[in-house]
Amino acid sequence: MDFRRNKTNLIAVALLLIMSVNSLQTDAQSSVWKEMKQKYPDESAVFLTRNKVINLEVMQDSVTAYASMEERILFLKDRPDNTTDMRIFGSHFQEIENLQAVTSVWDKTKYKDIPLSGLTRQRDDDDGIFFDDSYFYHLSFPAGHAGNQAYWKYNEKYRDARFLSAFYFQDYLTQTSGSLLIRSPRNVELKWHLLNDQENRVQFRQFEKGGYTHYEWTVKNMPAIKHEERSPKYSYFVPLVVFHVTAIKEKDKTVPVLSGINDLHKWYYETIRQVDEQPTPQLTEQAKNLVAPGDKEIDIVRKVFYWVQDNVRYIAFEDGMRGLVPHKPSYVLEKRYGDCKDMASLIVGLLKSLGIKSYYTWIGTRDIPFQYSLVPTPLADNHMIATYIDEDKNYFFLDGTSNYTSLQLPSSMIQGKEAFIVISDSEYEVKKVPEISSRLSALSDTVRLRIENRTLHGKGSAQYSGYQKIVASYDFNKTVASKQKDNVSYWLKKGSNKFILDNYTIENLEDKDMPLALSYNFHINDYINYVDSEIYINLNLLKVYYNQIINPDRKVPMEMDYKFSANEVYYLEIPDGYDIEYMPPNAHLETGLINFDISYEQTGLTIRVNQRFENNILLMTQDQFEVWNKAIKVLSNSYKESIILKKKTS
């Protein structure tokens, strides 16, 4: 026997065994990566898990809540975008505790966890405008290479179960697995709603275990959120569950928590009862200074509302209970700054000093889709205004944070929302804020045009009303003249990018009840086309939504800032020596979403083009995209029509 040969064979066998073990271990590490890479070839990373557990406990006559969150990301590509850095947010009412985070790096035969250090609370600084108690932890994971993982977990401590937030089952990365589990004592009643799950991706089960009721929602293979232009907030279309504790059942009694709007009213009333005060001399004096002899009550309300808009600086405060409780009116008057609650408090206080009733009103902006009728919790609101109701039961929603808004309009961001009006300790009203008609937010523009060689010269007179005026006023009210001219030019721009605004004047910029008026002169170079003895000119100078076709594969709703209308009238002087060779046909379409008319006519030596457009929707859903696209195609084709002028033959 050749001992050396057998020894070599044994060594070879041993090496093969070691290589096989290493291969198995490497395969074990890479099998999940390979599976995910094959399943999601275009993704940079995926969530392997996103799991949250909420534990509810009864403490005397209230409910406390503790939650644990656990998330794990697998990197499918080296240095993936937007996956190696993230933030964990907390606040006074939702404290973050026991945060741990590691990068799991594959090291030959196993994962090696590298803990993240320096996890400290940080705050966003927003130029001193916003002050709040929210904070975040910045997680920055090194070695975000393909096959490695990022893992973090933390606890949330809720000071009050009434502040429980919604849980979103979809995130910025695809997730292979996700879940929410609520563990509740059997004597705690819970109400929940699953929203935006048209494809039935979220599975639910309820079971009893260990004296607790368990509510569990799970998802598998949830795609990443796809961002689309003009998308509303995620809560409008991402699958989510909202939930709230309704009551605690005891042997001999039931303790309500948030069983409905009545309970919400009792809670909210306590926050404003703390700031109710008899008008101070300073408050009364300021209010009386605003009133003139012969003023009707509505005139006084208008003056008070406008004075607060113009004289109180908006600064947002979210500092513990200051996120719910406004300052007293006298304090806000003295400081001349405050958040939405403080402005509402000052409006209510000034009117009270004049013997006029108005009411604190909670409301959600359009960033929030929830209504009090479905979710009677703080999830339904993020804003406060004052409400005045006249003797004819007309409602005026007074938002002091919207500087240029007139008394007749609610601010644009609360249209269509439910206003929760607290009238007294025993009375409240939930009133829906109307959506303002497109015809009340109107642009009316009349322009006289003349041709000089290849240049089109114009003299115009434009008026903006409603939300068009409000937005334009923010842009126009600039102390630097050059910046103001740029903004005015942006609003008036016509024809092409060669539009030049020569001069302009502005009227009624500070008058909230009058349309904003602009008089202006402009020219557009190289706009006139000469072909032999003919002139081609397109007088559709304002092409609203030109070729703005919505991708039919889009799944996300499309949000508009406000409904609006535009009426443009152009008068063109027919140049000497020319006749009309061709006039485009009139165009008309009404869909309910958008309506338009374009008409052409000749009067003597002048061509008149009248262009009317209306957008009548705030939030467009997927079932409306086809109607929109068909209308846009017709509209865009109409915009392409040109007038042809032909030189007269001698």
* DSSP reduced 3-state for 429: strand
- Per-residue pLDDT of 442-481, as tens digits, reads 999 999 999 999 999 999 999 999 999 999 999 998 667 7
Quick check: 419 pLDDT over 70?
yes
Answer yes or no: are the C-beta atoms of 368 and 359 closer than 8 Å.
no
Average pLDDT of the residues in 182-201:
95
Average pLDDT of the residues in 291-311:
96
**Per-residue buried b or exposed e for 367-392, using 16+ beta carbons within 10 Å of the residue's own CB:** ebbbbbeebbbbbbbebbbbbbbeee
Residue with the bigger pLDDT between 472 and 146: it is 472
CATH number of 261-432: 3.10.620.30
Q: Which amino acid is at 458?
A: G
DSSP H stretches of helix in 171-219: none
Q: Where are the beta strands (DSSP E) in 116-148?
A: 121-122, 130-132, 135-140
Quick check: 544 pLDDT over 60?
yes
- What pLDDT score does 373 carry? 86
Quick check: 228 pLDDT over 50?
yes
- What pLDDT score does 26 carry? 45
- What pLDDT score does 142 carry? 80
Q: Which of 5-9, 58-62, 576-580 has the lowest mean pLDDT?
A: 5-9
* Mean pLDDT score across all residues of the chain: 89
- What pLDDT score does 119 carry? 87
CATH number of 45-256: 2.60.40.3140
Whole-angstrom Cα distance, residue 266 to residue 601?
A: 64
Quick check: 23 pLDDT over 90?
no
- What pLDDT score does 25 carry? 39
- What pLDDT score does 81 carry? 56
Going by pLDDT thresholds of 50, 70 and 90, the confidence category of residue 93 is confident
Residue with the bigger pLDDT between 108 and 203: it is 203
Average pLDDT of the residues in 165-180:
94
The pTM of the full predicted model, rounded to 2 decimals, is 0.88
- What pLDDT score does 143 carry? 67
- Per-residue pLDDT of 477-523, as tens digits, reads 866 777 899 999 999 999 999 999 999 999 999 999 999 999 999 99
Quick check: 22 pLDDT over 90?
no
The CATH class for the domain spanning 438-647 reads mainly beta
Q: Pull the structure tokens for residue 261.
A: 């709007």
* DSSP reduced 3-state for 569: strand
Quick check: 643 pLDDT over 90?
yes
